[in-house]
Chain A
Amino acid sequence: EPEVTQTPSHQVTQMGQEVILRCVPISNHLYFYWYRQILGQKVEFLVSFYNNEISEKSEIFDDQFSVERPDGSNFTLKIRSTKLEDSAMYFCASSYQAGGYNEQFFGPGTRLTVL
């Protein structure tokens, strides 16, 4: 059964450094998402992406964040200058169609630790 994959599983970085988190969505899916979960808190929506542009973004997704689909398979989240508070689990998700009725499939997550 196809799955969303994410690399790396754990990333440790110094404050102020740039990080790129990578995701490979399910191959025939068209809609892509990033969520994050700070330890002990709820899973929060960051951004949705369709047809090579951002569909919606949350207040968390400020100018330090960007997303890209550099080729036909990868979907990346870049944080330009990491802060301590960016430490969290980052989940990628994908869905075939849009709309709340359509299931989003989640990756296993990347744990980002900012020192």
Chain B
Amino acid sequence: AQRVTQPEKLLSVFKGAPVELKCNYSYSGSPELFWYVQYSRQRLQLLLRHISRESIKGFTADLNKGETSFHLKKPFAQEEDSAMYYCALSPPYSSASKIIFGSGTRLSIRP
């Protein structure tokens, strides 16, 4: 079964504290993995993807194939990081691939 699990509906941390948003996936093969973000009153947008090995807005995500996890991390949270975060996967090679989303974690940064 293809599934993405985000165990936390809400995560609240103080500004300057480290952040870790958990994500586990179930997929037979090697999917492409993403984190999407939705800021208040804005559209869903790609934050980062595993294949790019990038750090965006200070966020990184490490793929652990053994644990089938793709947790999102940031060492020092900022107030503007408050948003809804969705972990997602997609089959790597496919015609017009669908994205399978997790249920999302709302990150709230307290001043």
Q: Are A42 and B103 in contact, CB atoms less than 8 angstroms apart? A: yes
Q: Is B43 an interface residue (CB 8 A)?
A: yes
Q: Are A98 and B95 in contact, CB atoms less than 8 angstroms apart? A: yes
* Nearest B residue to A103, CB-CB: B46
Instruction: Tell me the complex Cα distance, A4–B100, Å.
Output: 20
Q: How many residues of chain A have a CB within 8 Å of chain B?
A: 30
Q: Is A33 an interface residue (CB 8 A)?
A: yes
Q: Are A101 and B92 in contact, CB atoms less than 8 angstroms apart? A: yes
* Chain A residues, Cβ within 8 Å of B31: 100
* Nearest A residue to B89, CB-CB: A100
Chain B interface residues (CB < 8 Å from chain A): 31-32, 42-46, 49, 51, 86, 89-104
Given contacts A41-B103, A42-B103, A91-B44, contact A103 B49 (CB under 8 A): yes
Chain A interface residues (CB < 8 Å from chain B): 3-4, 31, 33, 35, 41-45, 48-50, 55-56, 58, 91, 95, 98-109
Closest 9 CB pairs of A and B: A100-B90, A100-B32, A48-B96, A55-B96, A45-B98, A43-B101, A106-B44, A42-B103, A31-B96
**Other-chain contact of A104, B99, B102, B104 (Cβ < 8 Å):** B99
B91 to chain A, nearest CB (A): 5
Instruction: Tell me the complex Cα distance, A110–B96, Å.
Output: 22
A64 to chain B, nearest CB (A): 19
Instruction: Tell me the complex Cα distance, A85–B101, Å.
Output: 20
B52 to chain A, nearest CB (A): 9
Instruction: Tell me the complex Cα distance, A102–B96, Å.
Output: 9
Instruction: Tell me the complex Cα distance, A103–B36, Å.
Output: 10
* Chain B residues, Cβ within 8 Å of A101: 32, 49, 51, 92
**Other-chain contact of A45, B42, B45, B92, B100 (Cβ < 8 Å):** B100
